[in-house]
Amino acid sequence: MCRPLTDLDRHLAEAAARFGTPCYVYATDLVEERLAHLRAHLGRWFAVSFAVKSNPNPALLDWMRGRLDCLDISSGGELALAQEAGWDAERISFTGPAKRDAELRAATQAGLGELVLESLREARLADAIAGELGRVQPVLVRLAPARVPKGFGDQMAGRPSPFGVDVEEAAEILPQIAALPNLKIIGLHIYSGTQCLKPEAICENWRIFMQVFADTCAALDLRPEKLIFGAGLGIPYHPGDSALDLAAIAAEIGPELDAFAARFSATRLVLELGRYLVGPAGWFVTRVVSVKQSRGSRIAICDGGLNANLAASGNFGMVLRRNYVMHRVGGDEDGARPEERQDISGPLCTSIDKLGGGVALPRLEEGDLIAIHACGAYGPTASPLHFISHPMPAELLLTGGQMRDVTRIRGG
């Protein structure tokens, strides 16, 4: 006799039955737990800003409105989504290396909290627009440190980069920005690396931040209202990955943060992050359409692939492809489904549409559901949804055991 489904599998099966597959399920209760854990260990120093690019679903952003301090957007489109979700523009910052005239104008007109400047060219454009609108726009200057410690999945500094002002040029560029009459520098911003699971690397990176912030503020005689620390906090995606130990980070760098916060006692320190909060709180559910044997391999072919979840296919930011953690919804049915190595493919006519290679799962059959973990960030909006015109994945919000359809991108 089969055991009853776990609570998670019951919700995932319900999602597939009610809304179809492929689909994403985002559990806000888990996001809340992760936020509480973050604040318990780092909240004595930092406010929390959510990077909208990691998951811009308006229903999720609306849920976050009373729980997070601020948002960071990276486009005019994300500004519109944040406002649709009820966020006040004054609680939003705007990063991104290629902001266009229309985006800057809309953000300035809306009363954007902070414009994060990535270059002198951008500063001059923003100044001209603010002048036309009769406004003085608060800005943060993004700085690119000369070094990023080893251990980050992606680096946005320490080498040629489109992001921010290189620290080597800051002494020349920042005074020119400060002289622009329609901008007001209220602080600084650094986001130099992401997806790190090593506490010592996080701490070393934040030490670099604090030194750059202190040196730059001294050189400019700047008394900042806000300093943004790009978190870089990673999540475990793959079998064998360990969750990041926030307690170890707080223990190692806490005294230095205490001293820094005392030195900048009138400054709000903000931790900017995205996937750390929402990544582990989401699952991608896809159904096996067909199973075949091919040259000694068992292949389960699913209704959702890289078109619906590019990250899980290994084609979004991975140098070497590694399987995400995944499971068969319903488990092994008390041993009736012995575990074996299987390949998991999507529905597309390309050999790169592969969600897993040699994955150890209970033997998969047509109609089975597979749940891929850590899919709450960089899901639908980071995927080529229209490629080969398959159905769009549903997005479902699970709160307190209740599920609702919050799909933003529809087919057509």
> How high is the pLDDT of residue 1?
41
> How high is the pLDDT of residue 157?
78
Question: Could you tell me the sign of the dihedral formed by the alpha carbons of 293, 298, 302, 305, in that order?
Answer: negative
What's the pTM? 0.95
Q: What is the dihedral of CA 297, 302, 306, 311, to 10 degrees?
A: -80
Rounded Cα gap, residues 1 and 132, in angstroms: 73
Segments of the chain with pLDDT less than 70: 1-4, 156, 158, 319, 412
Rounded Cα gap, residues 405 and 412, in angstroms: 18
Specify the fold of 7-24+280-405.
Lyase, Ornithine Decarboxylase; Chain A, domain 1 (2.40.37)
> How high is the pLDDT of residue 401?
94
Q: Helix 120-132 crosses helix 170-178 at what angle (to 10 degrees)? A: 0
2, 196, 217, 349: the catalytic one is 349
Is 349 catalytic? The answer is: yes
CATH superfamily of 88-273: Alanine racemase (3.20.20.10)
> How high is the pLDDT of residue 4?
64
pLDDT tens per residue, range 69-85: 999 999 999 999 999 99
In which residue are the tokens 């994300």 written?
78
| Residues paired with residue 182 on neighbouring β-strands, in sequence order | none
| Same topology between domain 7-24+280-405 and domain 88-273 | no
pLDDT tens per residue, range 193-247: 899 999 999 999 999 999 999 999 999 999 999 999 999 999 999 999 999 999 9
Q: Which sequence spans correspond to the domains of the chain?
A: 7-24+280-405, 88-273
